[in-house]
């Protein structure tokens, strides 16, 4: 299980391409959770992390063809492939600033405020999903099955029909678990993530939803019937 913080569908594309696909595992099911507009093409890329952690120099041709398009971003990408310190400079900066008394607490307050004001997370009615379709196509072509789970956050968000169509037409499945449990603002202590007790409730709800889903049951039963190579 891998939990890269604050990643996008592009990060997952290259994570799968470089770390999972070469091993050719027989996967029962891949489950990816998301909220707001995290699956659309408008999500900003962390070019340094993409080059230094997930894609690397070997994936530069694909990345430059589809994802990292500007000359300045391509330079950042190549520098991140070559120099770990450059790729992780934001993390180093955070560690250094954390030495300042009170910085961590103040930063959390600022982040919560900016998150509430940010428009990046809001679904965009003009959004496109070409990267998502490319990612799903790669997974399905390998014979694996893929489920996307819309998770609850403090404010409900609509799921665009274009998103639903992209997932369905590419051969994946969408499970919307918003509102499945009547969470309150107190269940989101940082204004975004569930508290530990609320997360346990959600996990049980997710398990029930997957157990009742024909796509999920079919994927698990079909894979179980095939002998491992």
CA dist 121 and 136 (Å) reads 21
What is the reported pLDDT for 118?
Answer: 53
The neighbour count for residue 140, using CB atoms within 10 Å, is 14
In this structure, are residues 11 and 54 in contact, taking their beta carbons and an 8 Å threshold? yes
In this structure, are residues 86 and 48 in contact, taking their beta carbons and an 8 Å threshold? yes
Q: Which two tokens stand for residue 32?
A: 């990816």
Domains in the chain with CATH codes = 28-38+122-229 (3.40.50)
CA dist 84 and 157 (Å) reads 37
The secondary element (H helix, E strand) that includes residue 141 is helix 130-141
CA angle centred on 35, ends 30 and 38, rounded to 5°: 80
What is the reported pLDDT for 109?
Answer: 67
Q: Which two tokens stand for residue 124?
A: 């965009």
Per residue of the chain (229 residues), give pLDDT as tens. Answer: 455 667 889 999 999 999 999 998 888 899 999 999 899 999 889 999 899 989 999 999 999 999 999 999 999 999 999 988 778 777 777 767 667 777 667 666 666 665 554 544 555 668 999 999 999 999 999 999 999 999 999 999 999 999 999 999 999 999 999 989 999 999 998 888 899 999 999 999 999 999 999 999 999 887 554 543 3
CA dist 220 and 27 (Å) reads 9
CA dist 66 and 170 (Å) reads 18
Whole-structure pTM value: 0.81
- The percent helix, strand, coil of the chain (3-state, each to 5) is 55, 5, 40
């Amino acid at each position: 299980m891998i939990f890269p913080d604050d990643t996008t569908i592009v990060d997952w594309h290259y994570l799968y391409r470089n770390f999972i696909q070469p091993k050719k595992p027989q996967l029962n099911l891949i489950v990816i959770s998301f909220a707001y507009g995290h699956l659309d093409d408008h999500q900003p890329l962390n070019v340094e992390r993409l080059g230094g952690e997930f894609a690397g120099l070997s994936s530069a041709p694909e990345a430059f063809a589809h994802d990292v398009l500007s000359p300045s971003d391509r330079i950042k990408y190549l520098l991140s492939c070559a120099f770990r310190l450059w790729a992780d400079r934001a993390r180093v900066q955070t560690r250094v600033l954390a030495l300042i008394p009170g910085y961590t607490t103040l930063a959390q307050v600022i982040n919560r405020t900016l998150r509430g004001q940010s428009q990046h997370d809001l679904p965009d009615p003009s959004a496109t999903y070409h990267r998502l379709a490319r990612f799903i196509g790669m997974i399905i072509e390998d014979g694996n099955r893929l489920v996307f789970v819309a998770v609850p956050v403090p404010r409900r968000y609509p799921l665009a029909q274009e998103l639903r169509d992209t997932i369905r037409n590419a051969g994946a499945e969408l499970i919307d678990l918003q509102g499945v449990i009547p969470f309150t603002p107190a269940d989101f202590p940082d204004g975004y993530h569930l508290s530990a007790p609320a997360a346990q409730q959600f996990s049980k709800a997710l398990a029930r939803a997957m157990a009742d889903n024909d796509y999920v049951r079919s994927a698990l039963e079909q894979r179980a019937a095939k002998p491992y190579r």
